[in-house]
Amino acid sequence: MPSMTHRMRSLKMLNLQLCDRFDCERGMWPYVRPSYAIPEKMVRFKVSESYDGRDKFCHFHIEDYQFERLWERPESYIDILRRYAGLIAPDFSTYTDMPTPMQMWNVYRSRALTHYWQSQGLEVIPLIQFSDESSYDWAFEGLPKHSVLATSSVGVYRNKTCRRDFARGMEAACKVLEPTDLVWFGLEVDCDTNGARVHRYNNDNDERLRAAHKRKLEAL
């Protein structure tokens, strides 16, 4: 029988203290509540003790390593996340060349953190995640229907095949989940949203990089 210390270490590593099987619907995905919030502004996640983002929603449409710490030490960031008006569920990657269990693990982590944050009284908009058609059977399960849902087209609009696959995935998700509104981060991709109202937000990462490049040129 494993020692209590070993068990506590395992619980911490898997974050079972935040979400376990009994917090999941049918033992599969962590339960996440619907959201009806529409952000006025969105800003990428950053750690700053002095940052005041109470008029903005925090998004995680950035490289995974920049917010992996939230999974590793979730309790440590609650007070920081409370500084925002609300949150978009974390966008752990589901690349098409990832093995399916890895894709499912990243979706699970996003849902588990969403479940935990909501239990702490934070406003969190659930996120639509998928890879290709092979993920449709499981990727949309557990997300609330007739709710505001979030999505991101970052990284897909430079490639025709990626845009096509993204459009197909969004159409499949909207058919199943029938969202009332889509909080859409990134450039528009033509697809049938099944009547959902689309609220699009510019990629502030691109804006930040353009501003930095402009400052660099002005300094020359």
pLDDT digits (tens, 9 = 90+) for 68-97: 999 999 999 999 999 999 999 999 999 999
The pLDDT tens digits of the residues spanning 133-142 come to: 999 999 999 9
Taking residues 54-63, report their average pLDDT: 92
The two three-digit tokens of residue 53, written as one number: 């983002």
Specify if 132 maps to a domain. Answer: yes
Specify if 211 maps to a domain. Answer: yes
Q: Taking the model in full, what pTM does it have?
A: 0.87
The domain of 125 spans 29-219
Residue 47 CA to residue 69 CA, distance in Å, equals 10
124 neighbors 87 (Cβ within 8 angstroms): yes
Specify if 4 maps to a domain. Answer: no
Long-range contacts for 48-57 (Cβ within 8 Å, ≥24 apart)?
A: 48/80, 49/80, 51/80, 51/83, 52/83, 53/83, 53/84, 53/85, 54/83, 54/84, 54/85, 55/85, 56/84, 56/85, 57/84, 57/85, 57/86, 57/87, 57/88, 57/125, 57/183
The pLDDT tens digits of the residues spanning 109-147 come to: 999 999 999 999 999 999 999 999 999 999 999 999 999
Specify if 121 maps to a domain. Answer: yes
105 neighbors 95 (Cβ within 8 angstroms): no
Residue 188 CA to residue 220 CA, distance in Å, equals 35
Taking residues 103-114, report their average pLDDT: 96
Q: For the chain, what is the radius of gyration of the CA atoms?
A: 18
Specify if 153 maps to a domain. Answer: yes
Residue type, 220: L
Specify if 66 maps to a domain. Answer: yes
192 neighbors 171 (Cβ within 8 angstroms): yes
Provide the domain count of the chain: 1
Specify if 46 maps to a domain. Answer: yes
Residue 111: closest CA among 82, 133, 144: 144
Residue 162: closest CA among 95, 117, 65: 95
The pLDDT tens digits of the residues spanning 17-54 come to: 888 888 887 768 999 999 999 999 999 998 765 667 78
Specify if 6 maps to a domain. Answer: no
